[in-house]
A = this chain, B = another copy of it.
Amino acid sequence: MSKSELPALEVIGQDADVCCSPMVREPLDEAAAVDLARMFKALSDPIRLRLLSLIASFEGGEACVCDLTGPFDVSQPTISHHLKVLREAGLVDSERRGTWVYYWVLPPALARLSSLLQAPAEAPTAAAGGAR
B interface footprint on A21-59 (CB within 8 Å = 1, 0 otherwise):
001111110100110111011011111111011101100
Evaluate whether A40 and B37 lie within 8 angstroms (CB atoms) in the complex, with A56-B24, A119-B12, A130-B7 already known: no
- Chain A: interface residue total (CB-CB under 8 A): 66
Name the residue in A9, A34, A124, A128 with the highest tally of chain B Cβ atoms < 10 Å from its Cβ. Answer: A124
Asked if A5 is an interface residue, CB under 8 A from chain B, the answer is yes
Q: Do residues A107 and B126 form an inter-chain contact, with CB atoms below 8 A?
A: no
* Contact present for B107 and A120 (CB under 8 Å): yes
Chain B nearest CB, measured from A51 CB (Å): 9
A24 in complex: contacting residue of B30, B50, B105, B108, CB < 8 Å: B105
| Interface status of A14 (Cβ within 8 A of chain B) | no
Q: Are B23 and A57 in contact (CB under 8 A)?
A: yes
A sample of 26 cross-chain residue pairs with beta-carbon separation below 8 angstroms, ordered by A number, consists of A4-B130, A7-B128, A7-B130, A8-B123, A8-B127, A23-B52, A24-B105, A24-B110, A27-B53, A27-B57, A30-B46, A30-B50, A33-B46, A33-B53, A36-B49, A37-B45, A40-B49, A41-B41, A44-B44, A60-B124, A102-B126, A104-B124, A111-B118, A114-B116, A114-B118, A117-B117
